[in-house]
Amino acid sequence: MALIVQKYGGTSVGTPERILNVARRVIASQQEGNSIVVVVSAMSGVTDGLIKLARDVSSQPTEREMDVLLATGEQTTIALTAMAINGLGGKAVSLTGAQAGIITNGIHTKAKISNIAPRQVRQYLKEGFVCIVAGFQGQTLEGRITTLGRGGSDLTAIAIAAAVKADMCEIYTDVDGVYTCDPRVVPNARKIDVIAYDELLEMASSGSKVMQSRSVEFAKKFKVPFEVRSSFNTNRGTIVKEESIGLENVVVRGVSIERKQAKVTITNVPDKPGTASRIFTALSEANVIIDVIVQNVSVSGSTDISFTLSADELEKLGNLIDRVAAEIGAGQVTKKSGIAKLSVVGIGMRSHSGVAATLFESLGHGGVNIQMISTSEIKIAVIIDEAQIELAAKLAHTAFGLDRVS
């Protein structure tokens, strides 16, 4: 008998019919002799709807109350899923994040899990119940409701799987697994059979939102293998696990894109110790998250510095950067939205050369201009015009031999 954690995302529980589909799948899996913990997201669109409601009543909703509000999305789904299973003759019980023992720090809307004590889950499982746990939510030690950041039900599932020492963790979604690129962007993307944690982590943190990146980080840290698969069929999905021999034979595992980025350039920055620190300390104090940073070669004692951030963060920035530029005696500040990032990812890059050349050549031939470049051991990322991002993804996908052969 296996202990399985199954997570169903928003689309998979998006209608009453789909909740009944989940209920049938869960009952079937239990009838095969397994013990099942189910983690569910809010029905698709519900979290976005709640955020909109909050903004309708306040331009800056209090974060504590935001979490109280957002947690209701998942609370609706646990009740409906448990009712559906019970209605079909199964035996299920719903548990909020708090009841499932998920303790977090107090950083509202992006809380981190600090401890999990799933006593009630263990007890109900022992009594033969399917436990339906609300994803995305927890509580602080003082009992305040918190949420784990967008896509946080993935994290709930991985964390519960680690805590109950599940034999398997299955992430059910609306695609057949992790693809070589978002299949909505590159229609002939292929499903990946096996991927290393580090590769999915890089893909997820550079725009492939099929899994929340923090959940992959958690899975890597606590060595929780999992499978991403579809709730609409029974096809095998993508196994995500530690690196193993053979995985590095593939140079590029996948291509990620991230739209809605922005670029800030400060010209004529005095080229002396401490100026970069002044700029980036001010940004960090304003909690602005920076992505790629490029500093040019200095010409006659001054240099240009460019950095990227999400377009939303640019709004948060206001005129902060103009003030800092004036203080350090720099020249003009230009802010440009409408840019995007394309990343190619693969652990095979560590042992293969020519990856950058192949990427740049494919983009160059396709008429895509590269504005900035950044690399890590297993990733090469380029900043380009947002209008060309889909074209660029298709060019890179083909150049690295990732296209599906039909």
Residues found near ligand ADP in the complex (CB under 6 A): 9-12, 41, 151, 173-175, 178-179, 181-182, 184, 208-210, 254
Is residue 97 near Mg ion by the rule CB under 5 A?
A: no
- Which range binds Mg ion by CB under 5 A, 2-10, 115-123, 131-139, 158-166? 2-10
Within 8 A by CB and 6+ apart from 2, the residues are 33, 34, 35, 167, 168
Least gap, CB of 14 to ligand ASP (angstroms): 11
Nearest to 34 by CA among 202, 204, 167: 167
According to CB under 6 A, which one of 6, 81, 146, 153 is a site residue for ligand ASP? 153
Read off the tokens for 350. 């560590």
**Which lies closer to Mg ion via its Cβ, residue 151 or residue 237?**
151
Minimum Å gap between C-beta 12 and ligand ADP is 6
Decide if 162 contacts 313 (C-beta within 8 A).
no
Pairing mode, if any, of strands 372-376 and 379-385?
Answer: antiparallel
Nearer to ligand ADP by Cβ, of 125 and 257: the residue is: 257
Distances (CA, A) of 153 to 84, 142, 150, 309: 20, 22, 8, 25
Considering only residues 67 to 106 of the shown chain, the ones binding ligand ASP according to CB under 6 A are 73
Applying CB under 5 A, which part among 8-16, 82-90, 309-317, 354-362 lies near Mg ion?
A: 8-16
CB of 249 to ligand ADP, least distance (A): 20
Beta carbon nearer to ligand ADP, 112 or 209: 209
Burial class (CB in 10 A: 0-12, 13-18, 19+), 245: exposed
Stretch near ligand ASP under the rule CB under 6 A, chosen from 147-155, 201-209, 223-231, 333-341 = 147-155
**Cα–Cα distance for residue pair 124/156, rounded to 1 Å:** 18
Q: In sequence order, which residues have a C-beta less than 8 Å from that of residue 118 and are 6 or more positions away?
A: 100, 101, 160, 163, 164
> Least Å distance between CB 127 and ligand ADP?
29
Rounded (10°) angle between helices 389-399 and 355-365: 130
* Minimum gap (Å) between residue 210 Cβ and ligand ASP: 11
- The region of 59-67, 118-126, 146-154, 202-210 touching ligand ASP under the rule CB under 6 A is 146-154
309 near 315, Cβ under 8 Å?
Answer: no
CB of 173 to Mg ion, least distance (A): 7
Which residues here bind ligand ASP, judged by CB under 6 A?
Answer: 9-10, 41-42, 47, 73, 135-136, 150-154
